[in-house]
Structure 1
Amino acid sequence: MRRYKRTVVAVALATTVAGGTAGWASGGAQRAVTGAPPGSAAWRAEGVPGRPLPDPATADPREIAAFFRTLTPGRQRELAHRHPSVVGNLDGAPVALRYEANALAIRAGHDPRYLRLAAPGRQILAFDPRGRGQVAEVYGDLTAAPRVSVVVPGSDIDAGSFDRAKDPYGTPAGMAVSLRTATGDRTAVVAWTGYTTPVGIGLDAATGDLAEAGAGRLARFTQGLVAAGAAEPALFCHSYGSVVCGLAASEVNATDIVVCGSPGMRADRVADLRTDARVWAAKDPSDWISKVPNVEFAGLGHGPDPAGAAFGARRVPAATAHGHTGYFAPGTDSLRAFAAIALGESAGAGTTGESR
């Protein structure tokens, strides 16, 4: 009974402090945005001579890539202009075509919150205005770069805040830019806000419901990158984003899965992730996430600490990172190690327990 009470207390504490990147305000329940992108009904109703268009909800990214290869560039652009919200979010479609389609969709929406995303030079690979908004932006040449990384953020991130100026290294855009710069611009990096994140601190951050919805979207997104001709990516997963990556690990196309400031990956050890990717973990001494009990009970909490020796992840040094959002700050040992991993190297990163 005493052990049970300690567990309940630990879970209650996890519910109170797990998950956020932006503050300590209590968060309300979020409804995950999933399924086919806006405009899919009109897309399905149209076809090309002799065949239907691939269903955005069911077609495999490889099937979508193969379909677009059968079309002339003119026909591809015609579809993008007629159905920008679908083509812009269609995993497996040509990358440049998705950039063009999303710029059209953003301008057509006339939402002042998002018009900045259509500015010249921005490479928006996904955009969905439903809910709080989802977006993915590419830094670098995605299909030409020899190495690709994807940044998966934690709580309090959406299409309006993924590139905010405040606390930049706690945002996927800031992390992505910092990581690419640290590699000497030799990589392409995607800031992926492609799932509904928890807001503030509450049950959403302490449960895996939003992460489960996000895991499927992340797996499909990475499969779409490879189908469209990009290199298999390394995933850099921050805070609650590491829960998403843990649940997606067995399905994603990834060379590496790197977690930092993680409350847990919904697995007891690396082997339980069922992935061939190298798994890495970083946690700096000043990160408040250390106060979150690493338990999982009745659906609450996210399990053991991935940075703990028993978990078996390769350990990333983080002695000079500061706080929960300092892992990608320039000059830190964690960023130097992340850059080495992004380049396919291991310099500056050690191992703890088993490695894969």
Structure 2
Amino acid sequence: MASRPRSSRTRRALLAALVIASVAVPVSGAARPSAVPAPAPAALAPLRDATPADLAERYAATRNGIRDAERAAAAHGDRKRAAVLRAMAGPERRFLSFDGRDGGRTAEVFGDLSRAGRIAVLVPGSDTGLDRYARLRAGAKALKRELGGRSAVVAWLGYRTPGTVSPQVLTPGRADAAAPALRRFVAQLRATRPAARVSLLCHSYGAVVCGRAAAGLDVADIVLYGSPGAGADDAAGLRTRATVWAGRGTGDWIAHVPHARLRLPFTTVGLGADPVAPEFGARVFPAGRGGHSDYLRPGSVPLENIARIVSGETPAQEDRRA
């Protein structure tokens, strides 16, 4: 008997994934703690300049906001969250923005933004929030070390990320909600450092966020790695003048996610075509043999190649490193 067409199998896989996630999430979510309260952040003026004095003033203001959130978490009895916030409020940390509500929103700077000629904005994927912020920070620090002087890396946690096992991770809804905030942030960053080369680095579900925000965005590169899709059928569908790059490690489980979109009456299931497929039209860079969380691991092939892209250089050929 002839097998079903590929498109039919993909639709069935997407629907099955949605049903499984819909059942699993309420069960797993029952054990989750209640939301940790945090005060609304103080209003900050839009980023206009990147003089050391202006940035120091902004970093001090966000540090005060983090300390306020720490006190609220401690009063709520959440020692883990309070400890995370206490570390974030350290004098060596620099945040352009902070909001402790609803899982947390932050934009942390690594490097001297006032002198940076190259700026990388990291957009993380699912299950990233204040309580799991360490992995995003570690990747940003590793990239900054790889880039060297006259560079800055911004870890942008500017949206409510979906859970890895959730119905939301199968749809572009969270990305649609996040895209305007990412556009605003990049516009302010461009106004702050108009001569700098800015690149968006988009991991996992963060690739969907970047894809939804891409149209008209003034950046040199959009780098999709470990991506389940970018919410588009091809790179042209992103409507960007930036160079679109894509990479995936050979050990990354994301390769097995169905790459398609299924439009239902009230939502769209699936995140679009595979960015590393030839027909997508991105420039594919070697991403080593690592897994889904290994792209910014120190000494790795993808870290080296992503740093070269941010620097305006051609990615190196793959070698034996993971």
TM-score of the two chains, using structure 1 as the length reference: 0.74
Q: 1:25 to 1:185 in 2, by over 3 A?
A: farther
Judge conservation of contact 2:112–2:150 (CA < 8 Å) in 1.
no
Q: 1:288 to 1:187 in 2, by over 3 A?
A: same
Partner of residue 291, structure 1: 256
Partner of residue 133, structure 1: 104
* 1:266 matched to 2:231: yes
Partner of residue 204, structure 2: 239
Q: How many residues align?
A: 285
In 1: Cα distance, 2:303 partner to 2:20 partner = 25
Judge conservation of contact 1:222–1:232 (CA < 8 Å) in 2.
no
Partner of residue 190, structure 1: 154
Secondary structure of 2:201 counterpart: strand
**Match among 202, 205, 209 for residue 166 of structure 2:** 202
Partner of residue 318, structure 1: 287
AA at the equivalent of 1:193? L
AA at the equivalent of 2:294? G
Q: Which 10-residue stretch deviates more, 188-197 or 325-334?
A: 325-334
AA at the equivalent of 1:338? I
Judge conservation of contact 1:178–1:328 (CA < 8 Å) in 2.
yes
In 1: Cα distance, 2:95 partner to 2:20 partner = 33
Partner of residue 12, structure 2: 9
Q: 1:172 to 1:92 in 2, by over 3 A?
A: farther
In 2: Cα distance, 1:268 partner to 1:349 partner = 27
In 1: Cα distance, 2:20 partner to 2:291 partner = 14
**Match among 81, 102, 106 for residue 66 of structure 2:** 106
Unaligned runs of 5+ in 1: 19-23, 30-37, 40-83, 164-170, 351-356
Judge conservation of contact 1:187–1:342 (CA < 8 Å) in 2.
no
Structure 1 residues 100-153: Cα deviation after superposition (integer angstroms, max 9, x where no partner): 110111223323242221111100111011111111110001121110001100
Partner of residue 179, structure 1: 143
Structure 1 residues 38-74: Cα deviation after superposition (integer angstroms, max 9, x where no partner): 76xxxxxxxxxxxxxxxxxxxxxxxxxxxxxxxxxxx
AA at the equivalent of 1:6? R
Q: 1:17 to 1:272 in 2, by over 3 A?
A: farther
Q: CA deviation at 1:271?
A: 1.0
Q: CA deviation at 1:238?
A: 0.3
**Match among 185, 188, 195 for residue 221 of structure 1:** 185
Q: Which 10-residue stretch deviates more, 291-300 or 95-104?
A: 95-104
In 2: Cα distance, 1:91 partner to 1:349 partner = 38
Report 1 or 2 for greater relative contact order, CA contacts < 8 Å, sequence distance ≥ 6: 1
Partner of residue 58, structure 1: none
In 2: Cα distance, 1:243 partner to 1:198 partner = 12
Which of the pair is proportionally richer in helix?
2
Q: CA deviation at 1:172?
A: 2.0
Judge conservation of contact 2:216–2:241 (CA < 8 Å) in 1.
no
Secondary structure of 2:246 counterpart: strand
TM-score of the two chains, using structure 2 as the length reference: 0.81
The CA RMSD measured in Å over matched residues stands at 2.7
AA at the equivalent of 1:253? D
